[in-house]
Chain A
Amino acid sequence: MDAKNMTKEEVTEMVLDLLEDITGDEVVREERDINLLEEDLIDSLDYVELLLNVQDQLGLVIAPSELKREEMDTPNKIIQVILSRRDA
Chain B
Amino acid sequence: MNLFRTIEAAARRHPSRLAFHGRLGGITYEALWERSGRLAAFLEKELGEDRRPLCVYGHKEPLMIVSFLACVRSGRAYCPLDTSMAQERLDETAAAVGNRLVLAAAPLTLADKNIQVVDPNMLLACTEYSGRIDPVLENGPDDVHYLIFTSGSTGKPKGVPITTGALQHYLDWYFEAGYAGPKAGMERVLNQAPFSFDLSVMDLYSSLTSGATLWAVDHDLQQDQPALLDYLKEGRLDHWVSTPSFAEMCLADPSFRGENFPEMDTFLFCGETLPVGTAARLLDRFPRARVINTYGPTESTVCVTSVPITKDMTLSGKDLPIGVPKPGSEILIRTEDAAGTVRYTKEPGVRGEMVILGDTLSQGYFHEPEKTKKAFGPVEWKGKTQIGYRTGDGGRYETDGLLYCDGRLDSQIKYHGYRIELGDIEANLLRQDDIASACCVPMREGGIVKGICAFLVRKDSMTPDSYEARKAVKTELRALLPRYMVPKKICFLPSLPMNGNGKTDRRALEAML
CB atoms of B478 and A25 under 8 A apart: no
Partner of B489, one of A25, A39, A40: A25
CA distance A39 to B467 in the complex (A): 11
Q: Mark B7-20, 1 if CB is under 8 A from A, else 0.
A: 00000000000000
CB atoms of A24 and B490 under 8 A apart: yes
Judged by a CB distance under 8 angstroms, whether B471 is at the interface is yes
CA distance A15 to B475 in the complex (A): 26
CB atoms of B488 and A23 under 8 A apart: yes
CB atoms of B416 and A25 under 8 A apart: no
List the B side residues contacting A43 at CB < 8 Å: 483
Number of interface residues of A (CB under 8 A): 10
Known A-B contacts A40-B478, A43-B483, A45-B416; A24 and B453 likewise in contact (beta carbons under 8 Å) = yes
Judged by a CB distance under 8 angstroms, whether A10 is at the interface is no
Q: Mark A39-67, 1 if CB is under 8 A from B, else 0.
A: 11001010000000000000000000000
CB atoms of A24 and B451 under 8 A apart: yes
Judged by a CB distance under 8 angstroms, whether A9 is at the interface is no
CB atoms of A31 and B467 under 8 A apart: yes
List the B side residues contacting A30 at CB < 8 Å: 467
Q: Mark A67-82, 1 if CB is under 8 A from B, else 0.
A: 0000000000000000
CA distance A23 to B487 in the complex (A): 10
Smallest CB separation, B508 vs chain A (Å): 20
Partner of A24, one of B475, B478, B483, B489: B489
Judged by a CB distance under 8 angstroms, whether B470 is at the interface is yes
CA distance A25 to B475 in the complex (A): 14
Judged by a CB distance under 8 angstroms, whether B219 is at the interface is no
Closest Cβ neighbor of B475 among chain A residues: A40
Which residues does B use to contact A, with CB under 8 Å?
A: 416, 451, 453, 467, 470-471, 474-475, 478, 483, 487-490
CA distance A13 to B475 in the complex (A): 28
CB atoms of B474 and A40 under 8 A apart: yes
User: How many residue pairs, one in A and one in B, have C-beta atoms under 8 Å apart?
Assistant: 21
**21 residue pairs from A and B, CB less than 8 Å apart:** A23-B488, A24-B451, A24-B453, A24-B487, A24-B488, A24-B489, A24-B490, A25-B467, A25-B470, A25-B489, A25-B490, A27-B467, A27-B470, A30-B467, A31-B467, A39-B471, A40-B474, A40-B475, A40-B478, A43-B483, A45-B416
Q: Mark A16-28, 1 if CB is under 8 A from B, else 0.
A: 0000000111010
List the B side residues contacting A45 at CB < 8 Å: 416
CA distance A30 to B157 in the complex (A): 46
List the A side residues contacting B487 at CB < 8 Å: 24
For the complex with contacts A23-B488, A24-B487, A45-B416, 12 further pairs of A-B residues with Cβ separation under 8 Å are: A24-B451, A24-B489, A25-B467, A25-B470, A25-B490, A27-B467, A27-B470, A30-B467, A39-B471, A40-B474, A40-B478, A43-B483
CA distance A24 to B452 in the complex (A): 9
Closest Cβ neighbor of A39 among chain B residues: B471
CA distance A25 to B453 in the complex (A): 11
Smallest CB separation, A74 vs chain B (Å): 14
Smallest CB separation, B488 vs chain A (Å): 4
List the A side residues contacting B470 at CB < 8 Å: 25, 27
CA distance A31 to B471 in the complex (A): 14
Closest Cβ neighbor of B465 among chain A residues: A26
CA distance A45 to B487 in the complex (A): 15
| Residue of A24, A27, A31, A43 contacting most chain B CB atoms (<10 Å) | A24
